[in-house]
Amino acid sequence: MAQRAAAKRSRTRTKRPLRPPARKAAPAANTVGRSATSRGYNRTGASHRPVADAPSQKLHKILAQAGVGSRRMMEEWIREGKITVNGSVATIGTRVVPSDSIRIGRRIVRWPGIDRLPRVLVYHKPEGEIVSHDDPEGRASVFERLPQVRGAKWLAVGRLDYNTSGLLLFTTSGELANRMMHPRFAVEREYAVRIVGQLKRDQIERLTSGIELSDGVAKCDSVADEGGEGSNHWYRIVLREGRNRVVRRMFEALGLTVSRLMRVRFGVVALPPRLKRGQVSSLPAGEVKQLLDWLEQNAVEKQGAAPPA
């Protein structure tokens, strides 16, 4: 009997380790206007245009697309003379084509293949982690949780402060990160905010009309009451910027204390309900293409809405 039970256990199929669930398509705040195929991608994500035919582009943009770093960081490296093109030190405004030889020190930077989609990670950041590689205080970093990536580096799409939790995106594309973060694209950020007490009508009006902070006016697109228990009350707010501690500072200007803050959406990407704190999930290729489409459409709309120079 004991032998038969042991044989049955040996035939039992070994369970695979649990993985974070794949993210379901998040409901978009704005409808994505064009499909992935309209941007030149086929079903595998490959572009129909060969790399050799690519037009010249600014050096810092190409370096960002190659996953070397953000556009701002690349501009700093160019100013510091760290980058050469065809053996000559590059300057701000340098344009490059695929046949150019780009080097950072001894490292050769290859032209980013337009037949490959960037990678995007969705991370549920817990409180008590910093969004930085280095910290003098030795605190835990979100980058310690991420998988290794060959030939590129993970770029954080925006930041969340030490005591803020929720949705944090990472990508290998500096261009994607720039279109999500730069103020001129005005991408929505949605937060769940818990405060001690409740907002009065005039305070809600101040949040939506604009509050003067030390670095300029900040305002919410919307403020929704989500209820609460005891002295704690939840609100869901939407704004279109990511200045340092901007949500906390807005409520502090109203004399209110934020006891908990959580980002639940960034653009068309929402925090998956089943993704637990500290877990990371890779965005599927189809959803990466959907995100790229939406970012392109959003950039066109914002450019069309911009006042003439």
Question: 71-79 and 174-181 helices cross at what angle (nearest 10)?
Answer: 110
DSSP 67-87: TS--HHHHHHHHHTT-EEETT
CB 256 within 8 A of CB 195: yes
202 counts as catalytic: no
d(CA 104, CA 16): 42
Q: In sequence order, what are the residues at sequence separation of 6 or more whose Cβ sits closer than 8 angstroms to the Cβ of residue 296? A: 34, 39
d(CA 65, CA 77): 15
Buried (b) or exposed (e) across 34-51, using 16+ Cβ within 10 A? Answer: eebeeeebeeebebeeee
Residue 67 CA, distance from chain mean position: 14
Catalytic residue among 53, 100, 134, 161: 161
> Pairing relation of β-strands 165-171 and 258-266?
parallel
Query: One-letter amino acid identity for 307?
Result: P
Q: Treating both helix axes as pointing N-terminal to C-terminal, what angle do 174-181 and 285-305 enclose, rounded to 10 degrees?
A: 50
Query: Catalytic positions, please?
Result: 161
